[in-house]
């Protein structure tokens, strides 16, 4: 195990169900392999239901409930995709506030696939360059982002990727950005 992230705590924020499993498990493993401490944060306690596209996959135990934590508790944030997961999160005011707090504190954030939907709700994409699942491009542009079709995009501590095929590049960049720490440009006004 590397010590690149030596003890840094990373919140993985998910809804109770609809998480694309590989977009949770692969970044989780990358954080652990780099010496970081991932924690599963959700709107509800208990377990969350992951999916392999539209088929139910594994369940995972929740470490913390979003109302019981603060961005102060973590060094970085990862937002896995799946269609239902970010759609639920963007309607949860506590989750949106928690996510926005990482930007206010200039901490690294990584979002893959449909996860940028929640970033739109947190009003943190304006003036940023990012990517996502292609069906989000109009939503992101309408929210003031520059959307591009690239494997991985890094903009001042914000790491985004399009889909599970991009996971190797996404995981490498999220570890790199977390290792770098705070990014002053992360909290630029939106």
How far CA 133 is from CA of 11, 51, 185, in Å, comes to: 22, 17, 25
* Nearest-angstrom CA–CA distance, 84 and 18: 5
For residue 106, how many other CB atoms are within 10 A of its CB?
A: 16
* Nearest-angstrom CA–CA distance, 110 and 171: 9
The active-site residue, picked from 53, 114, 171, 183, is 114
* Nearest-angstrom CA–CA distance, 114 and 131: 10
Length of the chain, in residues: 190
Is residue 171 annotated as part of the catalytic site, yes or no? no
CB under 8 Å to 50, separation ≥6 — which residues?
Answer: 17, 19, 20, 21, 24, 25, 56, 57, 58, 59, 60, 82
The active-site residue, picked from 53, 113, 171, 183, is 113
Greatest Cα pair distance, the chain, in angstroms, is 42
Phi, psi of 15 (to 5 degrees): -80, 170
Positions marked catalytic: 113-114
């Amino acid at each position: 195990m590397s010590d690149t992230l030596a003890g840094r705590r990373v919140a993985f924020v998910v809804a109770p169900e609809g998480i694309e499993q590989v977009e949770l498990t692969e970044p989780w493993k990358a954080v652990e392999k780099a010496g970081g401490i991932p924690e599963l944060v959700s709107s509800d306690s208990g377990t969350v239901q992951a999916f392999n596209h539209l088929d139910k996959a594994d369940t995972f135990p929740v470490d913390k409930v979003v109302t019981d934590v603060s961005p102060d508790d973590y060094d970085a944030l990862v937002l896995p995709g799946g269609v239902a997961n970010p759609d639920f999160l963007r309607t949860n005011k506590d989750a949106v506030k928690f996510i926005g707090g990482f930007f206010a504190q200039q901490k690294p954030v990584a979002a893959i696939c449909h996860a940028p939907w929640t970033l739109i709700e947190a009003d943190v994409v304006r003036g940023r360059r990012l990517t996502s699942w292609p069906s989000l491009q109009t939503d992101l542009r309408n929210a003031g982002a520059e959307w591009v079709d690239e494997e991985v995009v890094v903009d001042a501590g914000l790491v985004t990727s399009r889909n599970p095929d991009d996971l190797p590049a996404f995981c490498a960049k999220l570890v790199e950005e977390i290792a770098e720490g705070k990014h002053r440009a992360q909290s630029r006004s939106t």
